[in-house]
Amino acid sequence: MNVLLLTGAPRSSRIRDFLAARTDRLQECSLPLTLEAAREMAPDFMVIHGYGPIIKAPVVDAWAGRIINLHNTFLPWGRGLMGNVWSYFEDVPKGVSLHSVDAGVDTGDVIARRPVSLGLEETLQSSWEVLMDALERMFMEQWEGIAARRAAPTPQAMLDALGTHHDRKAGDWLLSLCPQRWQTPVAHVAALGREYREDPAAFAQRCGGERALPPLPPPTSMPQGKAGVEGEVSVRPATAEDSLINWLWVNDPVTRAMFKKNHYVGWSEHEQWYGGLLRRQDMFLYIGLAGGRRIGNVRFDRRAPGTYEISINMDPRHRGQGLGHRMLAAAIGAFRARAEVSMFFAMAKKSNPPSIKTFARLGIHVTAEASPLAVSRGFDPETEVYMERRL
Ligand SMILES: CC(C)(COP(=O)(O)OP(=O)(O)OC[C@H]1O[C@@H](n2cnc3c(N)ncnc32)[C@H](O)[C@@H]1OP(=O)(O)O)[C@@H](O)C(=O)NCCC(=O)NCCS
């Protein structure tokens, strides 16, 4: 096995030592790589670890699927430069990824990715060290499978989110707002992100004037378009593995518009809430399934003994196909098998006929008078309807 390690200023010699012990020949390069030089070295694989230059298209083509990049974000978030810094600004999942290199910037198929739990007590430097350590460990665990070509990479188009990308200019701009540079507490970067989201125009004025950052796309954008599914609709209780998809669903723009609170739900807020939800005995979340895909969720919140408020949210790719009421029916069936229920109620915006009709299909109808429980939950008769079903 002949491996070329493309590396500039690596954090440590860990990957070099690891590969040296497992290859017949390990070559190293820190300069821009030409096709001629690559051919001369003729590696079976190239491994990129802390290397600046972009790999040119002819090299990428000739070694397709055999150039492995160690990337310190949870793809598809944080493509490009300073992904770790952006992950705090945008409040998205932190983690590490191994991907094969294609013609784009960090857009190649994902060989492995792993979330990394990082709190707000870190600095940019310390969080980077934690991520690099996790990344190197993951590479060393995965290497045998990669070298034996057993890895089954996932195209990024198959991931549920479109992710984010930032170039050098944007990264330099963000870093200019961090006077302590790499020693900046990540909490400072997170606070900048919150300020930006609350009022992008005021933030731009305070922080950049005409050099200000162009508007950033929402970090939770999902692929557009409808996806058909076949077969029966069923539900199962939500698990920790569903956290990410639930976070994407909750931040869908239509969902945000239809719920009481319309703000972007950052990953850190979601993670805390979702972890609590899985432990709670008064909140039950079901995941709808059809044709092997997760199509949405239904939540039951106990508001009084035997009384549950229901909320429903379909994956945007599965809306408008008559699946909502089937998922709700399956969830109500599953829930009634485990809990004594005397009343279900729900609230929906008057501007949301699909929701009102979906609940009506299950006998949860609009009533003139809202229950005091709904009123205490902030029911607004101007903009919302109240629906209930007594059992
Ligand atoms: C609300 C929601 C669960 C409905 O599920 P769905 O599978 O997309 O719903 P459908 O497309 O089958 O529409 C349901 C009904 O509304 C009707 N409908 C859809 N759009 C409509 C519109 N603009 N005006 C009037 N009726 C409409 C459909 O024809 C269907 O009628 P039917 O039951 O008589 O066949 C789903 O759209 C969703 O998740 N929306 C975003 C989150 C949300 O609003 N949640 C509810 C918060 S209370």
Domain boundary among 91, 124, 158: 158
Distance 346 CA to ligand 1 centre (A): 14
Same domain, yes or no: 148 and 255: no
User: What is the reported pLDDT for 201?
Assistant: 84
Same domain, yes or no: 116 and 250: no
Same domain, yes or no: 135 and 271: no
Same domain, yes or no: 239 and 382: yes
Distance 325 CA to ligand 1 centre (A): 9
User: What is the reported pLDDT for 62?
Assistant: 97
Is there a domain that residue 314 lies in? yes
Q: Which residues pair with residue 301 across a beta bridge?
A: 283, 309
- Give the total number of structural domains in the chain: 2
User: What is the reported pLDDT for 205?
Assistant: 84
Same domain, yes or no: 240 and 371: yes
Residue nearest to atom 34 of ligand 1 (CA): 357
Is there a domain that residue 27 lies in? no
Residue nearest to atom 14 of ligand 1 (CA): 354
User: What is the reported pLDDT for 110?
Assistant: 98
- Lining residues, ligand 1, CB within 6 Å: 254-255, 258, 311-314, 319-324, 348, 352-355, 357-358, 361
Same domain, yes or no: 239 and 386: yes
Distance 353 CA to ligand 1 centre (A): 6
Q: Per residue of the chain (391 residues), what is the pLDDT tens digit? A: 999 999 987 677 999 999 999 999 999 999 999 999 999 999 999 999 999 899 999 999 999 999 999 999 999 999 999 999 999 999 999 999 999 999 999 999 999 999 999 999 999 999 999 999 999 999 999 999 999 999 899 999 999 999 999 998 889 889 999 999 999 999 999 999 999 999 988 888 888 755 667 778 899 999 988 888 888 999 999 999 999 999 999 999 999 999 988 899 999 999 999 999 999 999 999 999 999 999 999 999 999 999 999 999 999 999 999 999 999 999 999 999 999 999 999 999 999 999 999 999 999 999 999 999 999 999 999 999 999 999 9
Distance 320 CA to ligand 1 centre (A): 6
Rounded distance, CA 69 to CA 80, Å? 12
Distance 363 CA to ligand 1 centre (A): 15
The pick from 261, 318, 357 for probing ligand 1's pocket by mutation, whose C-beta has the most ligand atoms within 8 angstroms, reads: 357
83: domain CATH number? 3.40.50.170
pLDDT digit string, tens, across residues 247-282: 999 999 999 999 988 899 999 999 999 999 999 999
Is there a domain that residue 330 lies in? yes
Same domain, yes or no: 372 and 262: yes
Is there a domain that residue 59 lies in? no
The pick from 246, 287, 328, 358 for probing ligand 1's pocket by mutation, whose C-beta has the most ligand atoms within 8 angstroms, reads: 358
Same domain, yes or no: 259 and 359: yes
User: What is the reported pLDDT for 210?
Assistant: 56
Q: Residue 223's CB: how many other CB atoms inside 10 A?
A: 13
Structure token digits, residue 14:
């860990």
Domain boundary among 129, 158, 187: 158
Atom of ligand 1 nearest to the CA of 355: 1
Is there a domain that residue 223 lies in? no
Give the residue numbers spanning the domain of 120: 64-158
Is there a domain that residue 11 lies in? no
Asked, as a colleague might, if the bond just before 76 is cis with ω within 30 of 0, I would say yes
Same domain, yes or no: 124 and 250: no
Is there a domain that residue 49 lies in? no
This prediction's pTM: 0.94
Is there a domain that residue 215 lies in? no
Same domain, yes or no: 367 and 259: yes
Domain boundary among 133, 158, 183: 158
Same domain, yes or no: 261 and 352: yes
295: domain CATH number? 3.40.630.30
Same domain, yes or no: 247 and 137: no
